[in-house]
Structure 1
Amino acid sequence: MEGIGNNREIFEYTSGRWIYNEPRRLAERHLAFDIEELKNVATKAVNRSPSDVNSFSKLAEGGFNRVFDISMKDGSCVLARLPYPSTLPRRLAVASEVATLEFVRAHGIPAPRVLGYSVDDNNVGSEYILMEKLPGKSLGDVWYDLPDKSRLKILLQIVELETKLFKADLPASGSIYHSRDLSPDIPRVDIPGSEDGLCIGPYAALRWWVGERGNLDIDRGPHEDPRLVLQAPAEKELAWIRAYGRPRYPFDRAYRETFDYKRQDPEEHIESLQEYIRLAPHLVPICSKLSLPVLRHPDLNPNNIFVSEDLTITGLIDWQHSLVLPTFLAAGIPKIFQNYNDEASMSFTPPRLAENIESMPEDERDIALEQFRRRHVHFFYLGFTQKLNESHWRAIEQETGLLKRRIYDDAGSPWEGLNLPLQNDIANVSQNWSKVATASADGTPPACPIVLDEQEVQRRASLDDSLRETDSEMERINGMLGVASDGWTPNETFESAKERARFIKEEGLAAVADDPWLKEMSDKHWPFDDCDEDE
């Protein structure tokens, strides 16, 4: 293997910096591997010789993978995608993405063609996927500057592609694999009509494997019964907390003031998970079509959408951690297109620009234009879905669909010292039980298995309001600093972001100088300082 010191640019993360806990983020992304062997397997995949390689360069790197461009002397190239050692689940993440790419391509979705792959690190020193380079450019380069008609062209194509996936026949929930990549002891359900041994196997989403969860002897799917789909993530978290849980602070340090800087008890979350499991069987829709398994792209943001010069979609990339879920759980507007916190969007009201938009002060005009853009995208994604994708629309228009998806997500989220989201979901479900629960044969819902008094419901709602206010404030501060929610910032703004963070801390501590205890706690739990993420 080539020396690490000579290949720092190749083996290390260099696309940005973190203003706190940077050593940990960099260690997670450090990957030393055999460059020459990677070139060998890449050229072999396209019937070339290693001597045909003209250049080897890092093309991109993200939170889970690094991509290299291996260009040939004739101008062709192979892309090599290598997961970081911290990317989970090992083997299965690569195996599932390879099979998922084959599945979506077979159903008319433009996606990279896989040229070769390895689910182990025996030869190159890392798992890898070799794939063709898609034509076009990332939509992320232009998305926020597009005129209205161009956005509509993109949205229409996205909904058309999603419609193809919603029509695909899948037998169970889980993730897609080639049977050959699963050991004999791993459960699987064959996909009907697959010519290359595709099947549904265990869930490949990170939440099933993060921390010590990969060590647990639990049911990770596949599941043909939607009731098991609903219950399994909570059972997973119960098993983890019982084996490894201990009191800890909420991971998001900005939340800790809401809880008086006290460690949260995992026993509270155990109670909520058990309550959720009692509620879960009643969340399955009575209409069986809403429980049909469907595959969706796990992160359909503009950076994962490639387009030509005329804005025709040429490919969707990054299918890692993809899931097949019942339609009522898979449904919803992709995060980048949704505007759920806006009343006008939630009422499906056609968006209109303010009549006085041109005479507004520049800062007000920018806010109004961004509000219109978000409403415009949300509205027309729904409109195209209503017209073209009946099964998705039927799931989206369910009155309590959002609540069901939220409680399912919160019940399966890895516990990191925050009990409130699931507690508040349970309160909302119990308050809306007649709308949420599947009715019995005589048309009446069963009695809700969880009963909360009004005072407890209000307590949870009040705490939830506090966390929402914190989210808004942190979004504002992150914007001022120019950092992402995890403290990431481009290389060129790192020093200025660190300096602004230092200044904000001085101001913040000065504001509570009259309260020694609060100042001490604010200093100890300051969200932009290095910290122990496991305390």
Structure 2
Amino acid sequence: MPWLESQVHGLVWVPTTFGLEPRWSFEPDIEAIKQTLQLLRPSSTVEVNFLGQGAFNKLYDVKLDDEMLIMRISLPVDPRYKTMSEVATMDWVHRTTDVPVPSVVSYQSSRNNVIGFEWILMSKMPGKPLAETWRSLSFAAKSRLVMEFAAYSSSLFRNQLRGIGNIYERSPLVENSASTEESAPTREQAEVPVFTSQDTECSARAVPEVSRIVSTQFFWGSHIYQDIYRGPFSSSKDWITARLTLSEYDCHSILAKYPAVDDLDSDDEVEVEDSTRTLRIIGRLRSLLSLVFPSNNPDPEPSIIFHDDLSRHNILVSKGGELAGVLDWECVSALPLWRACYYPSFLEGVPRHLEPNIGRYHREGNGEPSDLYWDHLWEYETTILRDMFIYEMKRLEPGWVEVFNTSQLQRDFDIAVQNCDNELVARHINEWIEDITTGKVNLRSLRDRIDEA
């Protein structure tokens, strides 16, 4: 893949104790960023300061005269597609919901520019992360936030798409860019099929295309080079099969390093044992695919845009607790209804039905209760807020709740696929598979088994 290899320059995958991590082999240059911004606004005064970074991005505070913006420069983990999809996703959420998301000022999905990386210039959202304000917010303010996310979920449910993958603008190669150099579309881009939705609240002209998926499992490490279909997937079964195939590839790659298993050191033995165990789980999951995901409909499966990292760090709120912004729309895919009709991730957690008694917790030197108290209070409050979220969804969108109530088996299967290589979860997965295989009545969910362990 010569084209792909040239596009991932600047990205290095580094082995760590906890697996591979993406790293920058060279840093974006501040002067190149300023030069790019000056081309966009020739008469403006430009200021640029490093703000922080995420797993795949570096963030920069940008001031153009008196306008405050954010520039997000991306590692080429999935060249072109990640940037194009992120821009289309923010636009779609802006058009179909009332959730405040960044507005894109300009972007470049090719690295053929003076910065040398793909980038997005967007508005800077006000507020502070919910993680920093949760302790000081009233429960009433938290309840209002939950109601807003219920309305958001309802809006996306009413604007369903078709097929599983990521969304793109109708003409993804035409973009507002400071660069005049564009790479020609690859053979893969030219031939990839797309699914479009016909029955939505938005006009057909405005509905984005569902096409190639941009997801961490599909580009992590060497996965980006694997010859595997990347969507759009017409069914849940096809999507999950592709994910299991990638996990299988990892196992076979490890086992291929050890053709002789008689003389292995302890670390090598662990690798071989882990891969062998994972392959057995994958085989068992494959045998259940048709049972859990019968694919009788030849049409592409309905899907919804699903932000799977609506954590307290990606939700911005004002001082009074009003929702001010939702961040981090990269790798947000159109997923099947059974997966998308679920709580926002900031509401997930272990249930706690009794309010913690603050008097029973250790006090810090400043008189504040210990972090353990706040953790337990968080679990207690989110237990109540989850019920409030479902109650509001029943009022707004009964169809969403029906999917939610009937999809635990599919969600558990998804958890098993995500964790098939996790030694700590393997026993629970195998016991859950055994119960399904033997037709056990009142099947205990895999989610509960893991949470209660």
What interval of TM-score do these two structures reach, taking the shorter chain for normalisation? 0.7 to 0.9
Equivalent in the alignment of 1:167: 158
Q: Contact 1:82/1:128 (CA < 8 Å) preserved in 2?
A: yes
What secondary structure is seen at the aligned counterpart in 2 of 1:190?
coil
Shift of 1:435: 7.3
Equivalent in the alignment of 2:291: 282
Q: 1:352 to 1:52 in 2, by over 3 A?
A: same
Equivalent in the alignment of 2:246: 236
Once residues 440 and 317 of structure 2 are traced to their aligned partners in structure 1, the CA distance between those partners, rounded to angstroms, is 40
Once residues 232 and 21 of structure 1 are traced to their aligned partners in structure 2, the CA distance between those partners, rounded to angstroms, is 27
Equivalent in the alignment of 2:23: 28
- In the alignment, does 2:193 pair up with 1:187? yes
Once residues 147 and 89 of structure 2 are traced to their aligned partners in structure 1, the CA distance between those partners, rounded to angstroms, is 23
Shift of 1:44: 4.6
Q: Contact 1:298/1:319 (CA < 8 Å) preserved in 2?
A: no
Choose the corresponding residue for 2:398, options 368, 390, 394: 390
Equivalent in the alignment of 1:404: 410
Q: Read off the aligned partner of 1:28 and give its amino acid letter.
A: R
Once residues 279 and 414 of structure 1 are traced to their aligned partners in structure 2, the CA distance between those partners, rounded to angstroms, is 14
Q: Contact 2:73/2:119 (CA < 8 Å) preserved in 1?
A: yes
Q: Read off the aligned partner of 1:370 and give its amino acid letter.
A: D
- In the alignment, does 2:82 pair up with 1:93? yes
Q: 1:383 to 1:245 in 2, by over 3 A?
A: farther
Equivalent in the alignment of 2:63: 71
- In the alignment, does 2:101 pair up with 1:140? no
For residues 197-346 of structure 1, the aligned pairs below 5 Å read 198-242=208-252, 245-246=255-256, 263-264=272-273, 266-284=275-293, 292-340=302-350, 342=351, 344=352
> Residue deviations 1:408-460, cap 9 Å, x none?
24425685xx46745642430331458799xxxxxxxxxxxxxxxxxxxxxxx
Once residues 233 and 362 of structure 2 are traced to their aligned partners in structure 1, the CA distance between those partners, rounded to angstroms, is 55
Q: Contact 2:213/2:333 (CA < 8 Å) preserved in 1?
A: yes
Shift of 1:247: 6.8
Q: Contact 2:127/2:319 (CA < 8 Å) preserved in 1?
A: yes
Once residues 436 and 162 of structure 1 are traced to their aligned partners in structure 2, the CA distance between those partners, rounded to angstroms, is 33
Q: Greater strand share, 1 or 2?
A: 2
Q: Greater helix share, 1 or 2?
A: 1
Equivalent in the alignment of 1:151: 142
Of the structure 1 ranges 371-380 and 423-432, higher mean CA displacement relative to structure 2 is found in 423-432
Of the structure 1 ranges 168-177 and 33-42, higher mean CA displacement relative to structure 2 is found in 33-42
What secondary structure is seen at the aligned counterpart in 1 of 2:90?
helix
Q: Contact 1:385/1:392 (CA < 8 Å) preserved in 2?
A: no
Once residues 222 and 395 of structure 1 are traced to their aligned partners in structure 2, the CA distance between those partners, rounded to angstroms, is 22
Q: Read off the aligned partner of 2:435 and give its amino acid letter.
A: Q
Q: How many residues align?
A: 393
What secondary structure is seen at the aligned counterpart in 2 of 1:319?
coil
Equivalent in the alignment of 1:509: none
Choose the corresponding residue for 1:428, options 425, 429, 432: 432
Q: CA RMSD in A?
A: 3.7
**TM-score, structure 2 normalization:** 0.75
Once residues 62 and 238 of structure 2 are traced to their aligned partners in structure 1, the CA distance between those partners, rounded to angstroms, is 44
Q: Contact 1:207/1:412 (CA < 8 Å) preserved in 2?
A: no
Q: Read off the aligned partner of 2:405 and give its amino acid letter.
A: E
What secondary structure is seen at the aligned counterpart in 2 of 1:212?
helix
Shift of 1:297: 1.1
Shift of 1:71: 0.6
Once residues 102 and 404 of structure 1 are traced to their aligned partners in structure 2, the CA distance between those partners, rounded to angstroms, is 29
Of the structure 1 ranges 59-68 and 234-243, higher mean CA displacement relative to structure 2 is found in 234-243
Q: Read off the aligned partner of 1:151 and give its amino acid letter.
A: K
**Larger Cα-atom Rg:** 1
Which sections of structure 2, spanning at least 5 residues, go unmatched?
Answer: 1-9, 11-15, 174-184, 259-265, 442-448
Q: Contact 2:168/2:209 (CA < 8 Å) preserved in 1?
A: yes
Shift of 1:324: 1.5
Q: Read off the aligned partner of 1:121 and give its amino acid letter.
A: R
Q: 1:266 to 1:434 in 2, by over 3 A?
A: closer
Once residues 197 and 165 of structure 1 are traced to their aligned partners in structure 2, the CA distance between those partners, rounded to angstroms, is 12
Shift of 1:92: 1.7
Q: Contact 1:353/1:369 (CA < 8 Å) preserved in 2?
A: no
Q: Contact 1:276/1:426 (CA < 8 Å) preserved in 2?
A: no
> Residue deviations 1:19-52, cap 9 Å, x none?
x879x96x8145433444433443554xx21x52
What secondary structure is seen at the aligned counterpart in 2 of 1:69?
strand
> Residue deviations 1:474-495, cap 9 Å, x none?
xxxxxxxxxxxxxxxxxxxxxx
Equivalent in the alignment of 1:103: 92
Shift of 1:326: 1.1
Q: Read off the aligned partner of 2:319 and give its amino acid letter.
A: E
Which sections of structure 1, spanning at least 5 residues, go unmatched?
Answer: 1-10, 12-19, 249-255, 345-350, 438-463, 470-535
